[in-house]
Chains A and B, each alone.
Chain A
Amino acid sequence: MLDDFLVRAALAGLAVACATGPLGCFVVWRRMAYFGDATAHAAILGVALALAFSTSIYAGTLVVALLMALTVASLAGRGWAMDTTLGVLAHSALAFGLVAVSFIPGVRVDLSAYLFGDILAVSRMDLAVIAGGAAAVVALLVWRWRGLLTATLSEDLAHASGINPGRERLVLTVALALVVAVAIKVVGALLIAAMLIVPAATARSLARTPEAMAVLAVLIGGLAVLGGLQASLHWDTPAGPSIVALAATLFAVSVPVAGMLRR
C-alpha cells in the first residue's frame, strides 16, 4: 500500500493535519500567527545549512526553527515590539536562507520544493519522520493541555494554580519548531503558517469548547489535505498550494454556515 506515492502523500498530509490542528488553535488563541510565520521562514535557512553540511533536511530545519522560535520568545519576554521584531527576523531568515543556498557548490537545488512543499515526493523514510514528528507534537499537546489552556486564558490564573506560564510557552515553541520541520516537505515553508491558522480559524465558528475546536481543526485540515491532493491530480496544480487553497475555501464556506447554525 505504501508503494503508491499518492497513499504516502495522503498519509503524510493527514499526519501534518493532526499536529497543525490543535497547535494551530493555540496559535490563533494566543495571536501567534506571525510567530509561526517567522519560525517557518527560518526553516529555509535550515535547509541551506543542512545541504551545506550534508545532514538531514529535517534535522537542519528543526534546529534552525527551534533557534528562531527561542530567540523570538526570549525577545518577547523582554518587551521588544513584537510586530517589528518578527518582521525583521522572519524575512531576514528567509533572505539569508535563499542567499546561502545559492552558495552551495555543485548542487542544483530546487528551492521551490522547500518553499511550496513536494508532498508527492514523500518517501517511506520521509513518511516515518513526518508521522513520528506529528505524533510527538500531538502527545506533547495532550500531555500539557490543561496547563497550556489555563496559561492561554490568563497567565495570572495559571500562576495562582501552580502552573508556570513560561514553561507552557516553551512547550508551544518546541511544538511549533517540530511542526515546521515535519511540514516543510508537505506544504513548504511559505504555507506552513496557513496550515496552522486556516483550519483553526474555520473550526472557531463551529465549536463551543476548546477541545471541540481542536478536533474540528484536525478534521478540516484532513479534509483539505485529501481534497487538495485530488484537485492537484485532477487539474495538475501544485499540491501544497492546492491544499491550502481548499482549506481557505472551507473557511469561506464556514462563515455563513456558522451564521445559519447560530440562528
Chain B
Amino acid sequence: MSLIEARNLTIRHGGAPVLAHVDFAISQGEIVTVVGPNGSGKSTLLRALLGIQSLSEGRVMRKAGLRIGYVPQRLHVDPALPITVRRFLSLPDRVDDHAAAEALARTGVAELGGRQMVGLSGGQFQRVLLARALLSRPEILVLDEPTQGLDQPGVAAFYKLIEEVRRDIGCAVLLVSHDLHVVMSASDRVICLNGHVCCEGTPRVVSNAPEYRALFGLGTGGALALYQHVHDHDHDGHDHAHHHSQRAADA
C-alpha cells in the first residue's frame, strides 16, 4: 500500500487555486521526484502531504504511524542563535551521542559535530539536515529543493548520497526540485507539476551518451539524468513544451 496518498487535492490561496485536482501516491522504497517552475505549487504539495498545509478540497492519507524524515527548504539560522551541529541533531528530540555520530558519518560530515550551524557551507548544511532527518529512522524521506545553491558536482554528490541512504535503510524518497530537466537518475518516477500534474514519466538515463558527458562532464558519476517532458496541453496560450525547451536553451 502507499505510504502517502492524495486524491483530488486542491488548494486555494484566496480564490486562485495553487493546486487543482492533484492525485498522488508514493509506495514503500520508491523514489519520486517532483519538478516544476517557480510558483508551480511544489512546496505547497509537499506541505499538504506532510499535513502542514490545510486543503481546500480532496484528501490526503498517510499510513498510520508513518515516520517521516523531513529536510526543509533553505533553513535560515539567525546568526544571533548559537547552535552546534550536535545540538541541532537533538531537536526536537534528544538523541544520544552514538546515534548522532552515526548519522553524521552516514551523510559524510562526521567531523562537523562541534561546528556552529551558521558557519557551514551550503553542501555541509544540507548533509546535516539530512543526518537530522535520518535520526527518526524514517520510512520516507521528504526533501524540499535540497540541492538549491549547490553546484553541479555538489548536486550529483548529494543525489548519490540519497541513493546510498535509500539502499541502506530502504526508505521511500520524495524529492522536490526546481530543475525541470536534470533530475536524480535513481528516480523511479518524475512528476512535472504546474498547478496540476502536467506529465509524469521516468528519467532518461543517458550517462553513456556523448551529449550527457558534454552537459555534465565526468565528475557526476551518473547521478544525474534528463527528464523529457511530454505535454499535450497549453498554458495561457503558450505551448508548454516550447516553454520548457526555451529554458533548456537558456541554461
A interface residues, Cβ below 8 angstroms from B: 28-31, 146-147, 149-150, 152-154, 156-161, 163, 201, 204, 207-213
From A30, A150, A161, A210, contact of B82 by CB (8 A): A210
Contact A152/B81 with A160-B70, A210-B87 known, Cβ cut-off 8 Å: yes
Q: Is the interface of A mostly helix, strand, loop or mixed?
A: helix
Show 20 residue pairs from A and B whose CB-CB distance is below 8 angstroms, ordered by the A residue. Answer: A29-B78, A30-B78, A31-B78, A31-B80, A146-B91, A146-B93, A149-B91, A150-B91, A150-B92, A153-B83, A154-B72, A156-B70, A157-B72, A158-B92, A159-B52, A160-B142, A161-B70, A209-B87, A210-B81, A210-B83
Contact check, A29 vs B75: say whether CB atoms are below 8 A apart: no
Is B155 interfacial (CB-CB < 8 Å)?
Answer: no
**Sample of 12 further A-B pairs with CB below 8 A, known A156-B47, A208-B116:** A30-B78, A153-B77, A153-B88, A153-B91, A156-B70, A158-B92, A160-B142, A201-B80, A204-B80, A204-B82, A209-B82, A212-B82
Q: Is the interface of B mostly helix, strand, loop or mixed?
A: loop
Measured in the bound complex, the distance between the Cα atoms of B51 and A139 in whole Å is 31
CB distance from A142 to the nearest CB of B (A): 15
B residues 1-42 near A (Cβ < 8 Å) are none
Contact check, B91 vs A208: say whether CB atoms are below 8 A apart: no
Measured in the bound complex, the distance between the Cα atoms of B16 and A167 in whole Å is 29
Measured in the bound complex, the distance between the Cα atoms of B92 and A146 in whole Å is 6
Is B84 interfacial (CB-CB < 8 Å)?
Answer: yes
A156: B residues at CB distance < 8 A: 47, 52, 70, 72-73, 144
Measured in the bound complex, the distance between the Cα atoms of B78 and A201 in whole Å is 13
Measured in the bound complex, the distance between the Cα atoms of B37 and A219 in whole Å is 51
From A31, A160, A204, A213, contact of B72 by CB (8 A): A160
Nearest residue, chain A, Cβ from B43: A156
A159: B residues at CB distance < 8 A: 47, 50-52
B interface residues, Cβ below 8 angstroms from A: 47, 50-52, 68, 70, 72-73, 75-78, 80-84, 87-88, 91-93, 116, 142, 144
From A29, A152, A154, A209, contact of B84 by CB (8 A): A209
CB distance from B179 to the nearest CB of A (A): 21
From A28, A154, A161, contact of B80 by CB (8 A): A28
B72: A residues at CB distance < 8 A: 154, 156-157, 160
Measured in the bound complex, the distance between the Cα atoms of B78 and A209 in whole Å is 13
3 A-B pairs with least C-beta separation: A160-B70, A159-B52, A150-B92
A31: B residues at CB distance < 8 A: 78, 80
Contact check, A213 vs B91: say whether CB atoms are below 8 A apart: no
B77: A residues at CB distance < 8 A: 153
B76: A residues at CB distance < 8 A: 154
A152: B residues at CB distance < 8 A: 81
A207: B residues at CB distance < 8 A: 82
Contact check, A29 vs B92: say whether CB atoms are below 8 A apart: no
Contact check, B80 vs A163: say whether CB atoms are below 8 A apart: no
A210: B residues at CB distance < 8 A: 81-83, 87
Measured in the bound complex, the distance between the Cα atoms of B67 and A161 in whole Å is 10
Measured in the bound complex, the distance between the Cα atoms of B83 and A208 in whole Å is 6
Contact A154/B75 with A161-B92, A210-B82 known, Cβ cut-off 8 Å: yes
Nearest residue, chain A, Cβ from B74: A154
Nearest residue, chain B, Cβ from A27: B80
Contact check, B82 vs A157: say whether CB atoms are below 8 A apart: no
CB distance from A246 to the nearest CB of B (A): 22
Measured in the bound complex, the distance between the Cα atoms of B116 and A153 in whole Å is 14
Nearest residue, chain B, Cβ from A201: B80
A154: B residues at CB distance < 8 A: 72, 75-76
Nearest residue, chain A, Cβ from B129: A157
B75: A residues at CB distance < 8 A: 153-154, 157
B47: A residues at CB distance < 8 A: 156, 159
A30: B residues at CB distance < 8 A: 78
Contact A160/B68 with A208-B82, A210-B81, A210-B83 known, Cβ cut-off 8 Å: yes
Nearest residue, chain B, Cβ from A157: B72
B50: A residues at CB distance < 8 A: 159-160
B80: A residues at CB distance < 8 A: 28-29, 31, 201, 204
B84: A residues at CB distance < 8 A: 208-209
CB distance from B232 to the nearest CB of A (A): 34
Nearest residue, chain A, Cβ from B144: A156
